[in-house]
Structures are given as structure tokens and as C-alpha cells.
Chains A and B, each alone.
Chain A
């Protein structure tokens, strides 16, 4: 029996789909059997980020309404044999499927896969309720902005009511801005949200490029974001991996100075 993890945030544009794609791919990279489920019905884009758009035949609504079997709707990834995606429908909307139906699909998938990664739409309405219906755990994605943290807090509260445990990923951190105090720092965010930190991801232009070419960032080991996502995947698997050092490498002198409190 696998584990279903929903990736959610409340606020839009913080990187839910990017995180889902990269976490899914990183888990596959570790040899796990993974299925990613896009529940953003009407605005699907997990397939675009994964570069699998042209392989879609059926979608989640077709499965829910019995027009095809679940196995027929799964799209196999072009890079990994054990990575699959269940696409959302593009022509329907969130009200065309009920949480119960999603839960049944997720439960079926959990039988065949080690991990089911559910990409949740923004907001806390029907789409959100659909996405969390079958989830065993949640990953909250936020960025170091007050608005995103506020929405993350709201979502964590809603998940607590459903007894779904949450862990946190802080995305798009800019080390220089944090250093100069212009951006919320990691400790501040974790203190407010009071949930376990699963990982931090630096802001990296390569992520945008990767999303546009349909090749998840995590495949490119020269990108700092890729390393961050690989670390996150290892933590999901239960390994203890220290948090990534955000600042660029500090010299010996600087470290000494910091040690003496002069940094």
C-alpha cells in the first residue's frame, strides 16, 4: 500500500505544480513507483511541466465517469518506466467531480504505486476538497511572502480539521534578500506556521527554463533547485538530510569572523 501526498498552498503561483513534478520525478529517480495526479480540473498544467501533454488520451473525469479504466488514463513518463501521471480534464470544471470519486481513484492508485503525488489547485473551494479527499499527508508549498504564508496557515488549519498532517516546503528563497532583511527568513516562517520543515528551495532561473521545455528541473544536477528537490525526496523517503546551505560558500576568514561575532 502506497502513500498519497497532496501538494497544496492556498495561494496560487507559489510552485505547487513545479514541486509536484519535481518531487514525483525525484522519487522516481530514487527507484520508487510514482503516480502524479493533477486535480486542477479546467486549468491543468502538470502535463505541460512534465512535457507529456501530447500523450494524453483520457483524463481523471473520464475515469470518474466510467468512460475508461484507470490504467488506460495513466500517462507513462518518457524518462522513467515507473513514473506515471493521471491528467486533469481541461474542458470541465472542479464541480464535475466529487471528493468521493477522487478518493476512490487515489485509493486504487495507492494499491499499485509507492507514492501518489496529488497536485492541488489554488484556493480552498471544491477543487481543494477534491484534492485532499484521498490524501494521507500534505506538503504545503509557500514562498517567503506574507500573503503566501498567510494562505499556507489557512490551509494547514483546514487540513488539521481533516487530520491530515502537513509538512512545509519554502520555495523561491533569495539568499541575498533574506540576508538584507528584505525577505522573510526560514525560521520566521517555520515559527509562525508551526509545522515540520521538509525543505527549502532557492529561487533558480533554471526552474522556469525547465518548465518551458517540459523537462523537470530535478533532472539537471547543476541546478541548485534540483539538489533541493532531490533532498526533499530523500526526506520524504525517511532519510535525514541536512538543510541546504543557502548562502554561497563562505571563506575561511569570514567563518572565523562569524565565529568571533564580527560577521
Chain B
């Protein structure tokens, strides 16, 4: 047996935590797990029901490997798997926030759409309907219901709609009910954003000033 342990079993208040090494091969890992469960920790692991949390580190499991792991632990009748946790992949996290979900349809009263990242809706949000996402919301239709952009606290998120007639707008943790003067009569696309913690609405053509994106379009 090599000096370094691949599996560390810790006792915590509400059960056990299995910390698995995330660099070795899956087969080695399972072999050691079986060995530990069957032999070295045999005594410790018999008795009353114990909740187990498995920490994978940065390892990404395939479905089959996940099943093998679960089977190995379940074989001990008294171990109940509470969760299998992996560290979030930093690359994946940013990809999630930046990804754009395109949905078409009418979000009707009582219906809710929640997405990670940005949301592009081809259709309307009716009164009583809700759209919410961690990034921006763009609605190519009428927003008559509730929209919540940056729902995890991103105050730079915006809500844009071809027809802005919301019941309620939320960006990050700011909730705003549109006063009458928001209701511009001419049907043009508008967007809502936060400025000094207050909700504001402006024409979509000004979004670029708010974002301060450099203009890179080339033309003759």
C-alpha cells in the first residue's frame, strides 16, 4: 500500500464524510474504498444507520462510475448516502453565467421560467407569469408579468422587452413596481437597469452606453 491515502473518512456531527482523492484512477479508488469498508474500518462501519456525504473534489464522474461508487457504499447496509458533492468547475461556472437560453412561447399566468445565464424569450410574458434568470433577460414580445434578472445578485443585469408593460421588475435584490410615467406610449424596445440602486428604464439603443462595451463594428 502506498503511503498516501486516497480515501479519508472523517466523522462529523451528523454522520461521516468520505473525502476522495481526485487525481488517482477510478479503479484504484474503488479498490481502496472496498478495502476500507470491508477490512480496516469494518468495526467502525457496523452498527446503527449513518449518513454519509461523499466529497469528490474536482473529479467528474460518469453515470457508470457514479453507480459503482454508490453500490460500493450501499453494500454496507448501515451507510446511507446523503449527497455526492463535487467542487464546482470554474470554467463551467463562467460558461453557465454567460450562456444564452432561447425559449419560444407565451409565459402565462401561473407559469414560471427559471434559467441559469441569460434568457431570450420569443413571445410574451403575461400578467401573473414570471421569468427569472441569473443573467440578462431579453423579451422579443410584451412583458406584462414579472421579470427578475440577475437573481443571484448580479446588479449589472438588464431586462429588455419589445413592449415594456411589467407588473413588477426585479434586478438583483431591487424590486420595482412601474410608476405610470414609465409607460411610454410609443412601442419601442426598452430596457431596465439599476443605477445607484434604483431601477431605470431607457431606450434599447442606449444599452451600449450603460454597458460601456467598446464598439467594434467595422464598416465602410
Give the B-binding residues of A (Cβ under 8 A): 146, 150-151, 153-154, 156-158, 160, 191-194
Contacts and interface: CB of A to CB of B under 8 A. Distances in A.
B106 A151 contact: no
A154 B124 contact: no
A151 B124 contact: no
Contacts, number: 33
Contact of A153 (B123, B127, B142): B127
B76 to A, nearest CB: 43
A11 B124 CA distance: 22
B103 to A, nearest CB: 14
Contacts of A160: 108
B11 interface: no
B162 to A, nearest CB: 13
A150 B124 contact: no
Nearest to A158: B110
A191 B129 CA distance: 15
A154 B106 contact: no
A150 B106 contact: no
A191 B110 CA distance: 18
A40 B215 CA distance: 62
B126 interface: yes
B127 A194 contact: no
A146 B127 CA distance: 10
A157 B129 CA distance: 10
Contacts of B124: 192, 194
Contacts of B126: 153, 192-193
Given A146-B127, A192-B127, 8 more contacts: A150-B128, A153-B109, A153-B127, A157-B109, A157-B111, A193-B126, A194-B123, A194-B124
B118 interface: no
Nearest to B106: A194
Interface string B103-130: 0001011110000000000011011110
Nearest to A152: B109
A42 B129 CA distance: 32
A63 to B, nearest CB: 32
B128 A154 contact: yes
Contact of B144 (A157, A158, A192): A192
A145 B168 CA distance: 20
Contacts of A193: 126
Contacts of B123: 194
A158 B144 CA distance: 19
B129 to A, nearest CB: 8
Contacts of B144: 192
23 contacts: A150-B109, A150-B127, A151-B109, A153-B108, A153-B109, A153-B126, A153-B127, A153-B128, A154-B108, A154-B109, A154-B110, A156-B108, A157-B106, A157-B108, A157-B109, A157-B110, A157-B111, A158-B110, A160-B108, A191-B142, A192-B127, A192-B142, A192-B144
